[in-house]
Amino acid sequence: MGTTSIKLKNISLVALIFTLFTFASVYPVAAQQGVPIDRNSGVDIIAGPHNVTVVMVNQNLAAGFIQMALFITVADTGAIVPDARVIIMADNEGQDYEGWATALNSPADLERYDVRMNLGSTGEWKINVDVSSSLGQGGAEALTLEVPALNRYTSGSMVFFGIFAAMMLGVAYLFWSVKRNNRRKREVAQGES
């Protein structure tokens, strides 16, 4: 009965690990596909002859990570601009940091341009959009984001340190119990001789 329960535990553990790896590899692919975005939740700006709607798709400002979708249309007519060159510039004046990224569109959705950026420091970041196409060029400030200072120790790190301390205590106990058993065996062997 003991080996059967061990085999069942091993099989269930392997199945769990396989499931986790399967979903972990599928999730990023699904996230990159054309996820529907509510354009009404975005910020509309005029960049020269272009109307740009900037929508935050994903953000983790504590880590300095942002992901945005930009929808570029002709400002006068509302027609899609599929061939625009879109550059996102991020500026942190308080820290003298600058960053930029190029927003790219896909053949599946010519109107949507996606961009991911890492903001390298804490503080207030101004996000500017610069669009150039056959219509012309224009730029404008789109957003202002506040990247907070990171908490060095969170509740998750305390749990990690607690588990690490428990593991070290377990290793110390094993080491001590092995030494104690070896000492008892030596004492028994010396008593018999």
Residue 108 CA, chain-centre distance (Å), reads 24
**Per-residue pLDDT reduced to its tens digit, 31-67:** 444 556 666 677 888 998 999 989 888 877 777 788 8
Asked whether the beta carbons of 72 and 113 are under 8 A apart, the reply is: yes
Query: What are φ and ψ of residue 182, in 5° steps?
Result: -65, -40
**Per-residue pLDDT reduced to its tens digit, 94-131:** 777 788 888 888 777 888 899 998 887 888 889 999 99
Domain ranges of the chain: 1-33, 39-147, 155-193
Residue 150 has a pLDDT of: 65
**Per-residue pLDDT reduced to its tens digit, 58-69:** 877 777 788 898
CA–CA dist 37, 114 (Å, integer): 12
**Per-residue pLDDT reduced to its tens digit, 130-189:** 999 989 999 998 888 888 876 666 667 788 888 999 999 999 999 999 999 999 999 998
Q: Please, what's the b/e burial string for 60-93 (b: 16 or more CB within 10 A of its CB; e: otherwise)?
A: eeeebebebbbbbbebeeeebbeebebebbbbbe
Q: Span 39-147: which CATH code?
A: 2.60.40.2480
When pLDDT is averaged across residues 75-83 and rounded to a whole number, the result is 88
Residue 193 has a pLDDT of: 74
Asked whether the beta carbons of 109 and 103 are under 8 A apart, the reply is: no
